[in-house]
Structures are given as structure tokens and as C-alpha cells.
Amino acid sequence: MEKVIQLNNVIKNYYVGTQVVHALRSVSLSIDKGDYVTIMGASGSGKSTLMNIIGCLDTPTGGSYHLNNIDVGSLDDDRLAEIRNDEIGFVFQTFNLLPRYSALENVMLPLVYAGIGRKKREQQALDQLIQVGLEDRVEHKPNELSGGQRQRVAVARALVNHPSILLADEPTGNLDSKISEDIMKLFAEIHKLGNTIILVTHEEDIALHAHRIIKLKDGEVEADYRNSNPIY
């Protein structure tokens, strides 16, 4: 299988005064193209730090991280920003939608940064909103949408650039159980289309939707196994 992500002996330290916080301790793992992975762990386990490194929001203190064979640790801030926009689609717990923009305009934003012409980016954004079932909410602003609909807009925005990975951080954290299930069904549909999904969660029932589960504890990989019976 083609590897999208390769981490080798990744270390991340933070310095608080004279103390060193070892957030990640020699983490090594790889993720194949088209995989559906959950990263789990309690508060302080290192899962947020690992997510930030995978998402090119932070760089390792030691070790190496390759995304599509690109050595991320060697890149400057401008190149990291380009990689984030081109290669990674982010979905956050809090949606992170711009309140004054319509659903279509919110989904178009990554294409603006990528320099895509207006007509093409409108069509690409519309196509993604149709894919997530919001063709009748294109002109609605976030305050006119339900929580589930806002998260669907966020998913459409994350996918509009056709990224290498979809990175979702607690995507159901602000949703009730029924809407959470709807969002997880959407992720299953997206995965079936060939997308690589990395889902960060502390919820066991959400994690069971993935095909592979990685558990962190004290900055180390405690377990890494295939889920033989994923939900959906």
C-alpha cells in the first residue's frame, strides 16, 4: 500500500520554566492511503500533540515526519502553510466557520488561498455541499444552520481541495448522539470514496467506526490494531 504518513521516533518536548514536558516519546507509525484511523487517549496522553504534528501545525523536537514523502520537519513556516492548505483537510469540534459568510463562501475559502478562479471554486464548493447533502442550504449562514449542518459545511470545506488526508479533531464533541451518528455515517461514506481519514477522539463508541485504532498513553503508542468489525 502507498504510505501517506510515516513517523519515525517522533519526540515532542515542551519547556515550562526549567521543566521539560515530554508530550511524545519516540512515536513511530505509518498510515496508508485510503485508511480510516482513530487516535485515542486520555487528557495528557499526547493525542493532541500528535494531531498537531500530523496536521503540520507543529514540528517534532526529534525524529522525522514524512507526508507523501515530504520531510515536514525541514520546511519553513510558509511551506508548512502551503502543505496544510493543499494536503490536509481539517474538521474541528467547534466548526470554525466564518459567521458572516454563507455555507458556499465558507467552503470556498481554501480555494481562495490556493488561487483558484472564482467560477471554478464556486463549482467545486457547490459539488462538495451536494456531496454532504446540503444543496438546499448553500446560501445559509452558520447561525441559520443546525449543529449537524454546520459540521457538514466544515466537512465540505475540508474536502474541497481534495486533500491527502482528512484530519478530524473530536468532530462530534458538540453534537448530540443522533446527530453524531449522522456525522459518522457521513465519514463512512467519505471513506468509501477512497479518502484517508484520521479521527482524534476520546469516545470509545466514536472510535469504533474506524478500521484501525491507535491508543496513546503518556506520549507513547500503547496499542495499535485493526478493528475487525467497524460500525458502518
Backbone angle region of 44, left / alpha / beta, with phi > 0 → left and psi within -120 to 50 → alpha: left
Supply the DSSP string of 21-86, one letter for each residue: EEEEEEEEEEEETT-EEEEE--TTSSHHHHHHHHTTSS--SEEEEEETTEEGGG--HHHHHHHHHH
Amino acid letter, residue 124: Q
The pLDDT value recorded for residue 4 is: 96
The pLDDT value recorded for residue 93 is: 87
Would residue 182 count as lying in a domain? yes
Would residue 101 count as lying in a domain? yes
Q: Which domain holds residue 171?
A: 3-226
Would residue 73 count as lying in a domain? yes
- Give mean pLDDT in consecutive 10-residue pieces for the chain, a chain of 232 residues: 93 92 95 96 91 92 94 88 90 92 95 89 95 95 95 95 93 90 93 94 92 96 95 84
Taking alpha carbons only, the member of 115, 121, 149, 116 closest to residue 134 is 149
Task: Measure the CA dihedral 59/65/44/180, to 10°.
Answer: 110
The pLDDT value recorded for residue 85 is: 87
Would residue 143 count as lying in a domain? yes
The pLDDT value recorded for residue 115 is: 86
Residue 126's contacts (CB-CB under 8 Å, 6 or more residues apart) are: 104, 135, 138
Amino acid letter, residue 177: S
Query: What CATH number does residue 150 fall under?
Result: 3.40.50.300
96-116 burial, b at 16+ Cβ within 10 Å, e below that, comes to ebeeeebbbbbbbbbbeeeeb
What global pTM score does this model have? 0.92
The pLDDT value recorded for residue 17 is: 87
Distance CA 118, CA 112 (A): 8
Would residue 149 count as lying in a domain? yes
Strand partners for 159: none
The pLDDT value recorded for residue 114 is: 83
Would residue 231 count as lying in a domain? no
The pLDDT value recorded for residue 44 is: 87
Would residue 232 count as lying in a domain? no
Distance CA 63, CA 10 (A): 4
Total of domains in the chain: 1
Would residue 140 count as lying in a domain? yes
The pLDDT value recorded for residue 109 is: 92
Residue 15: strand, helix, or coil: strand
The pLDDT value recorded for residue 122 is: 94
Taking alpha carbons only, the member of 59, 91, 106 closest to residue 167 is 91
Residue 182: CB atoms within 10 Å = 15
CB 105 within 8 A of CB 137: no
